[in-house]
Amino acid sequence: MKTSNGSFFMGIPKVSLAFLTVVIMFQQMILGSQEPACHMNDLTALKGFAKCLEPDIGGWNWSSSNCCSFTDIICDNSSDIYGRVVGLELGNKRLTGTICESLVGLEQLRILNLSLNSLHGKIPANLFHFRNLEVLDLSNNYLVGPLPSAIHLPSIKYLDLSKNYFSSFISMRFCTSSSHIQYLDLAHNFFGEGSIYLENCTSLQYVFLNGNGLSGTFPEDLFRLQHLRVLHLQQNQFSGPLSYGIGNLSNLVELDISLNDFSESLPDVFGRLRKLESFSASSNRLTGLLPASLVNLASLLRIDLHNNSLDGPIRINCSAMAQVTSLDLASNNFQGPVPASLSSCQSLRALDLARNKLGGVVPFEFRNLNALEYLSLGNTSINNISTALEILQHCKNLTILVLGLNFYQEEMPSNVNLQFTSLKALIIPVCHLRGSLPIWLSSSKMLQLLDLSWNSLRGSLPSWIGKFEYLFYLDLSNNSFSGEIPESLTGLENLVHKTALLKESSEHFSLVKSKEQGRPRLAYNDVWSFPPTIDLSRNMFSGPIWPSFGNLKNLHDLSLEENNLSGSIPDSISGMTSLEVLDLSRTNLSGEIPRSLEHLSFLSVFNVSYNRLYGDTPSGGQFMTFPESSFDGNQALCPRLLAPCQRKQIPPVVSPGKKMKIVDWNFGIGAATGFLLTVFFCFKSGWVLPKGRVCRY
Ligand SMILES: *[C@@H]1O[C@H](CO)[C@@H](O)[C@H](O)[C@H]1NC(C)=O
Ligand SMILES: *[C@@H]1O[C@H](CO)[C@@H](O)[C@H](O)[C@H]1NC(C)=O
Ligand SMILES: *[C@@H]1O[C@H](CO)[C@@H](O)[C@H](O)[C@H]1NC(C)=O
Ligand SMILES: *[C@@H]1O[C@H](CO)[C@@H](O)[C@H](O)[C@H]1NC(C)=O
Ligand SMILES: *[C@@H]1O[C@H](CO)[C@@H](O)[C@H](O)[C@H]1NC(C)=O
Ligand SMILES: *[C@@H]1O[C@H](CO)[C@@H](O)[C@H](O)[C@H]1NC(C)=O
Ligand SMILES: *[C@@H]1O[C@H](CO)[C@@H](O)[C@H](O)[C@H]1NC(C)=O
Ligand SMILES: *[C@@H]1O[C@H](CO)[C@@H](O)[C@H](O)[C@H]1NC(C)=O
Ligand SMILES: *[C@@H]1O[C@H](CO)[C@@H](O)[C@H](O)[C@H]1NC(C)=O
Ligand SMILES: *[C@@H]1O[C@H](CO)[C@@H](O)[C@H](O)[C@H]1NC(C)=O
Ligand SMILES: *[C@@H]1O[C@H](CO)[C@@H](O)[C@H](O)[C@H]1NC(C)=O
Ligand SMILES: *[C@@H]1O[C@H](CO)[C@@H](O)[C@H](O)[C@H]1NC(C)=O
């Protein structure tokens, strides 16, 4: 789920919040050290409020009648409302239960923060009638229902109801009474069916309406909000063209309208948005050229227009847009060539032009892109991989390079002088590249991910392939590599010791190529999870499966299918305790399936079909969950549930009902552990490049 990404700007209201708190505390100091006794009304209100909560709020001692001494409660120390509760700071206190009506008794409340709890149910109607309330944060709970129809919060400045289950606005005409509101966050709710009337909220600076299923055209009343700095409308169903009215929002710093259904061309009004730093309109149905005012906008730092139908040349004017750091124009109909002028964007750190009809070669001038860390030119019909690599090696900060689906049938350059010292991910699949695994790769000591699958590379794998300290994802599938699998692979540091991977998790990227039914899906997504993988399938490798594969405790996916191996499956490979996928089908293996594989409790895909295996089929652990087809085509392998092996005998009748039950039960466990593991792993490793990045080839 995408979250609002305005941390820098969002900091500003927090500052004023802190200021407010400081002011309140300062007033208290002036009044000296005497602690105010809490007002009886407030004590009653708090008691009622606390009754609806579980567990008790630690630090609220009901034997004491002075609620001002309770933790997380702020009382006023100034003379006129001395001893009244003005702040309730109960964010992230693991509270469950509901918000009781009696809370409304805290009539002097200025700050109410109940965010990041597990509160549920509807909110009391009168909650929106606090005369002095300035800050209301109910975000990240399980609150439901429509908002109260009458809203009277004349002092409200900051209202955050995001990440709840609120539904339609009955009336959001609240700016007739709440005209001072500066910050409004309604993101990630179900406000889709209501309407929002914000035309009179002229003080609004921050508006988050993303993730609500809102529809209709761009809400025109927003164009009157001259102070707007951040506007997030992404992940809704807004449609129609973008109106010229956007030009009215001359204070806008951040505009995100991605993941909607906006169509037609972008209005040429960006010249009036002189403060705009970040513009995202990805995944809409925008067409036409890039407006001149957009490509000349000096303030812009980040542009994300991927997955639209924009066309014409990519004519970013780097002289005007000197500060731009991130440019994502992938998946459009832009036409080539790859513009050499982009090399003047000296701050560019991420450039994604994948899936456009560019053609030509990587421009010579790209060698000057000194800040470039991420480059994707996948599926852009460019040619000459030798030239591309010669040039790009000069980009000393290049970390991720995606060039797949280009260079049809060219030769992989073997030039020993090529050097990519910062490279962490090299992704050049589906190019029909000829040649061998290039020696220059061995100097990329930082390499974590290598995908050269679906090419026509041949020869044997050199032993240096196992010497990368950080490599955890190796996909060389569907090439013509031959010879033995280098034993050094079984010593890959990052697959033997999890620690190296954890260390890497503080770095800035991760990648995954997901497989759908065994076939790679040719897209890398922006929320990347990545199972540690060795995929050497569909080559011509010979020789044994080394017993030392068992050392790869951190390996999740070992795919060796369709090779011409020899020998048997070593017992020791059960040492790969994290293994989820083990595919050894069509590898010409003989011998028995080691029983010890039953101990691989995360194994969810197992295939040894079409080999020359014999003996018992293990049936413990995850084995009952694997389909018969996992074992097909092994003449002498006994079916499961026959122990001891009664080769060439008719299997005894097993009551189908009973068998099904066992299968179901085991499958449940297997699927659940597999899923948990995946989730766990995603969490552990799921951090990415600067936000909004999409890496595809
Ligand atoms: C609660 O307040 C009473 C009365 O002020 C006091 O005697 C008692 O020690 C307090 N209990 C705790 C746990 O602070
Ligand atoms: C009011 O002042 C007293 C004494 O300085 C202090 O203990 C108390 O926390 C203050 N109230 C608030 C709301 O901070
Ligand atoms: C509310 O409390 C949470 C948790 O302490 C905090 O992260 C958040 O910034 C607070 N909200 C406001 C508006 O201060
Ligand atoms: C905005 O204010 C005008 C003038 O006070 C009023 O006529 C109009 O109804 C208000 N609109 C909304 C949506 O509150
Ligand atoms: C632009 O702002 C002006 C001044 O507030 C306002 O009169 C005008 O209606 C706005 N334009 C649109 C399209 O809302
Ligand atoms: C591309 O955008 C369309 C909407 O225009 C959306 O349905 C689709 O999921 C997007 N595809 C990707 C890969 O983001
Ligand atoms: C590019 O920007 C520079 C500096 O703002 C300007 O002088 C030049 O005319 C622009 N070029 C084009 C083609 O718009
Ligand atoms: C490559 O790009 C073409 C259009 O330029 C598109 O039709 C095709 O699906 C893309 N291939 C992949 C695998 O993304
Ligand atoms: C390259 O990366 C290093 C280390 O992250 C950084 O200090 C340096 O500024 C970067 N170079 C450029 C030109 O951005
Ligand atoms: C690539 O470009 C270089 C330099 O222009 C040229 O010598 C070489 O023949 C080209 N290779 C291919 C495969 O086009
Ligand atoms: C192997 O790669 C070729 C392209 O090089 C592709 O056409 C073919 O479908 C792939 N085969 C398998 C089984 O993945
Ligand atoms: C597989 O390897 C064996 C030797 O181990 C060899 O005799 C056989 O021809 C190979 N088969 C293929 C299809 O390469």
Between 503 and 62, residue with greater pLDDT: 62
pLDDT of residue 645: 58
* Atom 8, ligand 12: residue with shortest CA distance: 564
Q: What does the block give as tokens for 142?
A: 């399980």
| Measured distance CA(25)–CA(108) in Å, rounded | 16
Q: Which amino acid is at 459?
A: G
CB atoms < 10 A from the CB of 613, how many?
22
For residue 374, the CA-to-ligand 7 centroid distance in Å is 26
Q: Which amino acid is at 249?
A: L
Question: Which of the four pLDDT bands, split at 50, 70 and 90, describes residue 311?
Answer: very high
| Measured distance CA(305)–CA(283) in Å, rounded | 7
pLDDT mean over 335-341: 93
From residue 242, alpha-carbon distances to 42, 239, 295 in Å are 50, 9, 17
For residue 94, the CA-to-ligand 3 centroid distance in Å is 13
3-state secondary structure of 500: helix
For residue 675, the CA-to-ligand 11 centroid distance in Å is 29
For residue range 92-124, what is the model confidence (pLDDT) as tens digits?
Answer: 999 999 999 999 999 999 999 999 999 999 999
pLDDT of residue 199: 81
Question: Which of the four pLDDT bands, split at 50, 70 and 90, describes residue 266?
Answer: very high
Residues forming beta bridges with residue 264, ordered by sequence position: 286
pLDDT of residue 554: 92
* Atom 12, ligand 9: residue with shortest CA distance: 371
* Atom 6, ligand 11: residue with shortest CA distance: 454
pLDDT of residue 499: 52
* Atom 5, ligand 6: residue with shortest CA distance: 284
Sheet containing 96-97: order of strands: 53-54, 96-97, 118-121, 142-145, 165-166
Q: How far is CA 49 from the centre of its chain?
A: 38
Tell me which residue of 428, 377, 375 sits closest to 398, measured CA to CA: 375
Closest ligand to residue 523's CA: 8
pLDDT of residue 39: 87
Question: Which of the four pLDDT bands, split at 50, 70 and 90, describes residue 254?
Answer: very high
Between 412 and 191, residue with greater pLDDT: 412
pLDDT mean over 297-325: 95
Residue 518 has pLDDT above 50, yes or no: no
Q: Tell whether ligand 6 has an atom less than 6 A from the beta carbon of residue 234.
A: no
For residue range 357-394, what is the model confidence (pLDDT) as tens digits?
Answer: 999 999 999 999 999 999 999 999 999 999 999 999 99
From residue 457, alpha-carbon distances to 1, 393, 447, 557, 652 in Å are 39, 22, 19, 22, 49
Between 1 and 372, residue with greater pLDDT: 372
Q: Tell whether ligand 2 has an atom less than 6 A from the beta carbon of residue 25.
A: yes
DSSP 668: H
| Measured distance CA(538)–CA(215) in Å, rounded | 48
| Measured distance CA(522)–CA(294) in Å, rounded | 31
Q: How far is CA 215 from the centre of its chain?
A: 25
From residue 607, alpha-carbon distances to 82, 127, 587 in Å are 74, 60, 11
pLDDT of residue 4: 38
Half-sphere exposure of 152 (CA within 13 A, CB side): 7
Between 422 and 1, residue with greater pLDDT: 422
pLDDT of residue 239: 95
| Measured distance CA(433)–CA(455) in Å, rounded | 5
| Measured distance CA(560)–CA(551) in Å, rounded | 17
Dihedral of CA 91/95/101/103: which sign? negative
Which ligand 8 atom is nearest residue 430's CA?
13
For residue 218, the CA-to-ligand 6 centroid distance in Å is 19
pLDDT mean over 563-571: 96
For residue 282, the CA-to-ligand 6 centroid distance in Å is 8
Domains of the chain with bracketed CATH = 1-191 (3.80.10.10)
Q: Tell whether ligand 6 has an atom less than 6 A from the beta carbon of residue 108.
A: no
For residue 424, the CA-to-ligand 11 centroid distance in Å is 26
Residue 563 has pLDDT above 50, yes or no: yes
Residue with structure tokens 């982009």? 342
Residues forming beta bridges with residue 434, ordered by sequence position: 411
From residue 296, alpha-carbon distances to 16, 24, 282, 521, 559 in Å are 34, 46, 19, 37, 49
Q: Tell whether ligand 2 has an atom less than 6 A from the beta carbon of residue 77.
A: yes
pLDDT mean over 145-172: 85
Residues 456-481 as b/e (b if ≥16 CB within 10 A, e otherwise) read ebbebbbeebbbbebbbbbbbbbbeb
| Measured distance CA(572)–CA(126) in Å, rounded | 67
Q: What does the block give as tokens for 298?
A: 């000096």
pLDDT of residue 169: 66
Question: Which of the four pLDDT bands, split at 50, 70 and 90, describes residue 221?
Answer: confident
pLDDT of residue 1: 34
pLDDT of residue 146: 86
| Measured distance CA(566)–CA(541) in Å, rounded | 10
For residue range 488-509, what is the model confidence (pLDDT) as tens digits?
Answer: 999 999 999 865 443 333 233 3
Residue 694 has pLDDT above 50, yes or no: no
* Atom 2, ligand 9: residue with shortest CA distance: 397
Which ligand 7 atom is nearest residue 315's CA?
13
For residue 46, the CA-to-ligand 2 centroid distance in Å is 18
DSSP 357: B
Which of 52-61, 240-249, 312-321, 464-473 is predicted with the least confidence, judged by mean pLDDT? 52-61
Closest ligand to residue 261's CA: 6
Which of 510-524, 578-592, 650-664 is predicted with the least confidence, judged by mean pLDDT? 650-664
Beta strands in 51-185 (DSSP E): 53-54, 73-75, 85-89, 96-97, 111-113, 118-121, 135-137, 142-145, 158-160, 165-166, 183-185
| Cβ proximity of 504 and 527 under 8 Å | no
pLDDT of residue 634: 92
Q: What percent of the chain has pLDDT over 70?
A: 81
Residues 268-291 as b/e (b if ≥16 CB within 10 A, e otherwise) read ebbeebeebbbbbbbbbebbebbb
**What is the DSSP code string of 411-444?**
BPP--TT---SS--EEE--SS--BS---GGGGG-
Residues 6+ apart with CB under 8 A from 610: 585, 586, 632, 633, 634
Tell me which residue of 389, 457, 384, 377 sits closest to 423, measured CA to CA: 389
Residues with CB under 6 A from ligand 10: 384, 386-387, 410
Q: Tell whether ligand 3 has an atom less than 6 A from the beta carbon of residue 141.
A: no
Q: What percent of the chain has pLDDT over 90?
A: 66
**What is the DSSP code string of 311-330?**
EEE----TTT-TT--EEE--
Residue with structure tokens 């002289």? 319
Residue 469 has pLDDT above 60, yes or no: yes
For residue range 586-638, what is the model confidence (pLDDT) as tens digits?
Answer: 999 999 999 999 999 999 999 999 999 999 899 899 999 999 999 999 988 88
Question: Which of the four pLDDT bands, split at 50, 70 and 90, describes residue 668?
Answer: very low
Closest ligand to residue 589's CA: 12
Task: Specify the pairing of strand 581-583 against strand 605-607.
Answer: parallel
Q: What does the block give as tokens for 45?
A: 């209100």
Which of 14-28, 168-182, 468-482 is predicted with the least confidence, judged by mean pLDDT? 14-28
Residue 528 has pLDDT above 70, yes or no: no
Averaged confidence pLDDT in the chain: 83
* Atom 3, ligand 10: residue with shortest CA distance: 387
| Cβ proximity of 144 and 166 under 8 Å | yes
For residue range 159-206, what is the model confidence (pLDDT) as tens digits?
Answer: 999 999 998 765 556 677 788 899 999 999 998 876 777 888 899 999
Between 652 and 16, residue with greater pLDDT: 16
